[in-house]
Amino acid sequence: MSPLVRRVMIALALVGFASAATSTYVHYQLARDPGYTSFCDINDSVSCTQVYLSRFGSVAGTPVALLGAFWFGVVGLLTVAAGRGSDTLTENVGGYLLVLSTIGLAAVLFLGYTSFMVLGAVCLLCVVVYVAVIGIFLLSGAVGSVPWLSIPRRAAADLGRLVRTPLPLAVALLYLGATAAAVMLFPTEPAGASTLTASPPSDANGGSGESADNASEIERFWDAQPRVELSVPHEGAQVLVVKFNDYECPSCAATYLAYEPIFARFESSHPGAVRHVSLDYPLDPECNEQTPRGMHAGACEAAVAVRLARREGRDELMARWLYDNQESLSRESVKEALERIAGVLDFDELYDATLEEVKEDIALGGLIAIEATPTFVVNGVMLKGGLQPQYFEAAIALELERAAAGPASK
């Protein structure tokens, strides 16, 4: 490994580590603070939050970004060791780096595909990581390597030497310990979520001091959100939840899956008290003039399909199919699915008239200046993108509690 290659490799490892560590910090803040806004959330398409909080953002509860930071740290330490060790160690490190960079390349190719093609979102910090990994992979190929079958034997020998060398062993143990501590300290659920339940507390001032603090945190956050007027009837419900939805929007699918169990629990514990209304706001200029640069070419057809399926009592099945097949939505695929799921054969004939109904929802969204989907309006409180499930549930519980206490509590 030449000095130039070593310096470039270390620089890439440092850049990648810094980016992955920053991503981990942002993910940590999102997990503990419902009101946190990431500096790399620019719009609905360029959003770190969408990527971090998606099902691809963690592995068994450990953020992918933290695993990336660990990977870059190992690459950096090995590269430094190669410059200070024997010729044999330098040769072995070349093999280790090639194995690590191959694994890293496979990971970023998968994550890049899921980000761009499945989630439809770009994470700027992730892009920096992708570039750093690709650069390390290309450099590791130029370093020179050893036969792959000999790598396990060489690794065992190097580990044996490591445990007999105090300073390198201390560095390795410290690094592993710090990584393990970061994994253990990462919140598995938002702070205070375990004390916030679907049912509002019977006594707002009761309970432990910790519970009261958590409730106060939610209340302060909730009261700071913008309020809008929306002409959607409560129909006897104490809490009205309106979602402006696009069936081709990954975040809309994510909140659908996350929030449906919450609505079911409230219906069980407070029958009729929470009304959930989904309004259409396709990010498709075909039917929505307010999104001239919308990228969801099948969203208008999807909205029409759900409305037609509703007439047959199959709208939930249709909606679930749309969410599960977002990457392949087109007029023909939606039409075929509608026929198969709901038995609707006259999609083309009914399309224009039904699209006018969709445009009525779009007009409502225009009145409150919808900027992205999903946007929720909960008893007039406007939430762009929604909340993590625990906080969303707590917010509805807060509204129920206030409704029970009367107008003076609001």
Domain map (residue ranges) of the chain:
3-185, 193-409
Q: Is the pLDDT of residue 342 over 70?
A: yes
**Cis ω for the linkage preceding 200 (within 30 of 0):** no
Residue among 272, 255, 8 at smallest CA distance from 136: 8
Average pLDDT over residues 178-207: 51
Q: How far apart are the C-alpha atoms of 219 and 100, rounded to whole Å?
A: 47
- Confidence label for 334 from pLDDT (cuts 50, 70 and 90): very high
Render pLDDT for 19-46 as a digit per residue (tens, 0 to 9): 999 999 888 887 766 556 678 877 767 8
Side chain identity, residue 2: S
* Superfamily per CATH, domain 3-185: VKOR domain (1.20.1440.130)
Q: Is the pLDDT of residue 198 over 60?
A: no
Reading the block at residue 66, the tokens are: 């933290």
Q: How far apart are the C-alpha atoms of 92 and 150, rounded to whole Å?
A: 9
Contacts of 362 (CB under 8 A, 6+ apart): 280, 281, 282, 287, 288, 290
Count the neighbouring beta carbons within 10 Å of the beta carbon of residue 208: 9
Q: How far apart are the C-alpha atoms of 227 and 379, rounded to whole Å?
A: 9
Q: Is the pLDDT of residue 98 over 60?
A: yes
Q: Is the pLDDT of residue 146 over 90?
A: no
For residue 36, the model assigns a pLDDT of: 65
For residue 181, the model assigns a pLDDT of: 86
- Confidence label for 189 from pLDDT (cuts 50, 70 and 90): very low
For residue 351, the model assigns a pLDDT of: 96
Q: How far apart are the C-alpha atoms of 169 and 162, rounded to whole Å?
A: 6
Render pLDDT for 292-301 as a digit per residue (tens, 0 to 9): 666 788 999 9
For residue 40, the model assigns a pLDDT of: 82
Higher pLDDT, 352 or 145: 352
Contacts of 155 (CB under 8 A, 6+ apart): 92, 96
Reading the block at residue 48, the tokens are: 């770190």
Instruction: Supply the DSSP string of 181-234, one letter for each residue.
Output: HHHHHS-SS-TTGGG--SSPPS-TT-S-HHHHHHHHHHHHHHHTS-B-------
270 touches 304 (CB < 8 A): no
Q: How far apart are the C-alpha atoms of 381 and 266, rounded to whole Å?
A: 19
Which of 3.40.50.720, 3.40.30.10, 3.40.50.20, 3.30.2290.10 is the CATH number of 193-409?
3.40.30.10
Higher pLDDT, 86 or 217: 217
Q: What is the mean pLDDT of the chain?
A: 83
- Confidence label for 408 from pLDDT (cuts 50, 70 and 90): low
Q: What percent of the chain has pLDDT over 70?
A: 86
pTM surpassing 0.85? no
